[in-house]
Amino acid sequence: MNEQVVYGWILVLIYMAIVLFFVVRGARKIKNISDYAVGNIAFSPVAVGLSLAASITSAATFIINPGFVAYYGMSAVLSFAIVLPLGIFPSLIIFTKGFRKYGSDIKAQTMAQWIGQRYNSPFYSLLFAFLSLLLITFIVLICVALTVVLSTTLEVDKLYVLLGIVIFIFGYMMFGGANSLVYTNTIQALIMLVVAFILLGSGHEHFREGVHGFLAKLKAIDKDLVTWTNPNSPLFRDFFEIIFCQLVVGVAIICQPHIITKSLLLKSDKDVNKYLVVGIFAETIFFLLVFVGLYSRISFPDLTFNGAPIKIDGALTTYVKSELPIFVSLLVVMGLISAGLSTLESLIQSLSTTITSDIVKPLFGRFFPKDEEKSSLLQIRINRSVIVGLAIISAYISYQQIVSPNLSVAILAQCGVYSYFAAAFVPVLFGTFLKEVPKVAPIMASITAVFVHFYLYLVGIAPGITPYMWETVWEGQRMVTVRNPAIPATAAILSSLVVGLILYYVPKFFQKSEEKTNEGAS
């Protein structure tokens, strides 16, 4: 066992001990499912803002997306580091205050509860609770990314690392909840900021001849690496994919339960501005991290290491282990782990709460004890059982993605996550900014979004869309068909918005016409 592996084990064990300390500290204050969902500690807006940034970032930004940049160059940088934030940040600012105000008034714990109570529809709440199961694909992405990082660092078989990750993280999330989540997310975000600056500065020697010299190195490897579009890529072929679709996706992406409900942890409306400033500042730094993928490509111009092909999901990890000094690389590994854990914890917390409170309780609540205290204890036990079930499902799918991914696990995750927030966009938008919304408008909009997204993703046949959905690329020794999930998601969001607006305004138009007719008759 070499020196790096020994130190890697020491750091991982120390990290685990710190996480467990804060989990125990937060778990002591949990008495019911509400405490688990939104906490009962008055956290500072700075802490919640850092928790927001950590939740948005995930392993995709820190581990997976730099691999796309290594493969496809500046077109991927434009998509992930410039266009996507331009969609996310204004949307986050606009939606947060309205969502928080109504969520605080009705004491909402989950996205499904917010939507169900906003439109006075138990059916709609249950529908969204089931749709939230799509977020399991995001959990899978993070599990796979963490497995890649830790198996490389600790030199342990991926299967054993995956099982260790699932048992440890899902295990402590059975007891932690929102109280411990903010503690751990804050620490993770601080580590991630330090690591982001280290990684961004790690390629400084490539700029000795200035920016033009840096771009010349990339161009010498592949001229498409320095163009704003990459026709040879499956995801960044033109500005429709890179700019239009990413902007639409970016606007809707904050409609995920582990992101938009974070504002419900704030104890006062006056904290919202500081919360947003801190969160957006940290997140800006995190988005820029994908630029490190270009350093990786310069270090491995033929995308191989020791004669073996470098997969997209392993490009950043390979760069860190081979190009950085031992102690720096281990610190970076801690940052990569933090990026994964921060979002994974939030997803487990929000998804398990949704299943317990918005699926199990509505369907089987009549069997719960009448005594409120006993009912609360039963819900906590059910929530823990739900987490065990999520762990088993996530581990199984994650292993399949490790063994046989379709280009990258990010494709699977984007398919699931994009369909969810495409369905959530209209109800959150209308519920935040419009009054007297007939429930049929958002419900049909959500159903339209889900249908359009999965039809285009699975069938891929539609005027103007078909060429984007049948791209084939080489992956190792095989050809795979890659479908850009942003394309069907964009179509789903826009079509659901059209349906929602028609069903909102058309009845009002006829109502006003009828009122004028009645006035004229009288």
DSSP for 392-418, please give it.
HHHHHHHHHHHHS-SS-HHHHHHHHHH
Burial class for 413, CB neighbours closer than 10 Å (0-12, 13-18, 19+): buried
pLDDT of residue 311: 86
Closest CA to 424 of 57, 34, 95, 49: 95
pLDDT of residue 37: 58
What gap in Å lies between CA 211 and CA 342, rounded to an integer?
Answer: 34
In the chain, pLDDT over 70 holds for what percent of residues? 88
pLDDT band for position 472 (50/70/90)? low
pLDDT tens digits for range 318-348: 999 888 888 888 888 888 888 888 788 878 8
Q: Which residues contact 46 (CB under 8 A, 6 or more apart)?
A: 274, 275, 278
pLDDT band of residue 5 (cuts 50, 70, 90) is confident
DSSP H or E segment with residue 269: none
Counting DSSP H helices and E strands in the chain, the numbers are 24, 4
Whole-angstrom Cα distance, residue 82 to residue 86? 6
Query: How distant is the alpha carbon of residue 393 from its chain centre?
Result: 18
- Mean pLDDT, range 110-137, rounded to an integer: 91
What does the alpha-carbon distance between residue 430 and residue 441 come to, in Å, rounded to a whole number? 9
Amino acid at 48: V
In which element (H, E) is residue 226 found?
A: none
Q: What is the mean pLDDT of residues 421-441?
A: 91
Q: Which domains does the chain have, with CATH numbers?
A: 3-16+42-403 (1.20.1730.10)
**Cα 470 to Cα 344: distance, rounded to the nearest angstrom:** 31
Cross-strand bridge partners of residue 104: none
For the residues 113-141, what does the mean pLDDT come to? 91
Report pLDDT for 229. Answer: 95
Confidence of residue 222 (pLDDT cuts 50, 70, 90): very high
Give dist(CA 296, CA 486) in Å, integer: 25
Q: pTM for the whole thing?
A: 0.85
Q: Do 178 and 265 contact (CB within 8 A), yes or no?
A: yes
Q: Which residue has the higher pLDDT, 449 or 474?
A: 449
